[in-house]
Amino acid sequence: MNDFLLAQMVAAERLPNAHESKAAVLLELKSSLAGASGEQRTATLLKRELDLPGETIFLNDVHIPYKDGTAQIDLLLIHEQMVCVLEVKNMVGEFYFDSVNFQFHRIIDGRREGMRNPEAQLHRAVRAVSNFLGVPVHGVIVLASRSGKVVEAPKQYPIVSLDYLPFHLERLALGSKIFDVTALASKVEQLPQQNLSRHWFARHRIDFNALRPGVTCPDCRILALDWQERKWLCRICGFHSRDAHKVTLQEYAVLFGESLDTQLAYRLLGVENKYTLYRLLKTAAPQSNVRGKRRIVEDRDLLRGYFGKIYR
């Protein structure tokens, strides 16, 4: 789970049902989860089944500089014999690639749905990686779902099922060592992280005031927990914990950054006593060099663990 997917999960959980963007947020989260699942299955299969000599490095969800922006790469494979961009599609239905007008649509449950053309996305990504690394780059569209069927295939790039992907990539290998795997991977890994959340929040009109505050009960996920007798307590299911607020702090950090205004922290955690607040924030969000500001200690694994139980 990258930070953008985590941000979508937090927004979906904390936006009230009455918010104008709640339905759109849930729909986009569903799409992002399907995509992430397909990419994870693809990487897992390749690491297990791909039979190539030497080292193979897989980089997922990378953003390569391209013209005035960036190109998003689902999965980038770097091997001493080849570099390949994988455009992973975890979709169902019948797929039609119009190579005359460069459009794409699918038929699902008898409905025709126009969508972004995976071939055009892949072409842009391949050009970006090739220009950035200065090497020739292959491209493959990967069907991660067995419930997808290609009726009209793309013309410029191959589209293969996930089961066949390792064999397809092995056939692309040139047979001789021509790339420095470590050097190419290092160049990509040194790129700055992209913050996709800010534009997404603005588009959906999400800010702190739009979100439900408080420390969420991880069991019933209905009400905010109460701080009583030095522990968090759920009035509905009886859940109790001493550090449940740490997940809430990570939720805030993934949405708005690690800098937390002390006065805002009262509303965020739902506490009123300053000594209680300072005790809760002492290690998880210690005071910064700026008066009235705290610095949340990053620990995304807390969020991944929390949401991993929800979105299995």
**Three-class SS of the chain:** CCHHHHHHHHHHHHCCCCCCCHHHHHHHHHHHHHHHHHHHHHHHHHHHHCCCCCCEEEEEEEEEEECCEEEEEEEEEEECCEEEEEEEECCCEEEEEECCCCEEEEEECCEEEEECCHHHHHHHHHHHHHHHHCCCCEEEEEECCCCEEEEECCCCCCEEEHHHHHHHHHHHCCCCCCCCHHHHHHHHHCCCCCCCHHHHHHHHCCCHHHCCCCCECCCCCCCECEEECCEEECCCCCCEECCCHHHHHHHHHHHHCCEEEHHHHHHHHCCCCHHHHHHHHHHHCCECCCCCEEECCCCHHHHHHHHHHHCC
Write down the pLDDT at residue 81: 92
Write down the pLDDT at residue 182: 93
Q: What is the pTM of this model?
A: 0.80
* 204 lies in some domain: no
Q: Is the pLDDT of residue 101 over 80?
A: no
Span 252-263, mean pLDDT?
A: 89
Confidence category of residue 250, pLDDT binned at 50, 70, 90: very high
Write down the pLDDT at residue 167: 93
* 150 lies in some domain: yes
* 203 lies in some domain: no
pLDDT tens by residue, 35-59: 888 889 999 999 999 998 888 999 9
- 37 and 144 belong to one structural domain: yes
Span 248-262, mean pLDDT?
A: 90
* 230 lies in some domain: yes
Average pLDDT of the chain to the nearest whole number: 88
Write down the pLDDT at residue 123: 92
* 206 lies in some domain: no
Domain boundary among 197, 229, 262: 197
* 54 lies in some domain: yes
Write down the pLDDT at residue 85: 96
Q: Are 311 and 304 in contact (CB under 8 A)?
A: no
Q: What is the largest CA-CA distance in the chain?
A: 69
Write down the pLDDT at residue 286: 87
Q: Is the pLDDT of residue 222 over 80?
A: no
Domain of 56 in residue numbering reads as 3-197
pLDDT tens by residue, 182-219: 999 999 998 887 777 778 888 888 888 999 999 988 88
Count the domains in the chain. 2
Q: Are 262 and 275 in contact (CB under 8 A)?
A: no
- 36 and 64 belong to one structural domain: yes
Domain boundary among 145, 170, 197: 197
- 219 and 174 belong to one structural domain: no
Phi-psi region of 207 (alpha: psi -120 to 50; beta: other; left: phi over 0): beta
* 207 lies in some domain: no
* 208 lies in some domain: no
Share of the chain above pLDDT 90, in %: 33
Span 88-116, mean pLDDT?
A: 85
pLDDT tens by residue, 120-140: 899 999 999 999 999 999 999
Write down the pLDDT at residue 158: 93
Q: Is the pLDDT of residue 312 over 80?
A: no
Domain boundary among 197, 232, 254: 197
- Torsion on CA atoms 262, 267, 268, 269, rounded to nearest 10: 100
Write down the pLDDT at residue 24: 93
Write down the pLDDT at residue 142: 94
Specify the long-range contacts of residues 227-231, CB closer than 8 Å, at least 24 apart. 227/269, 227/270, 227/271, 227/276, 227/280
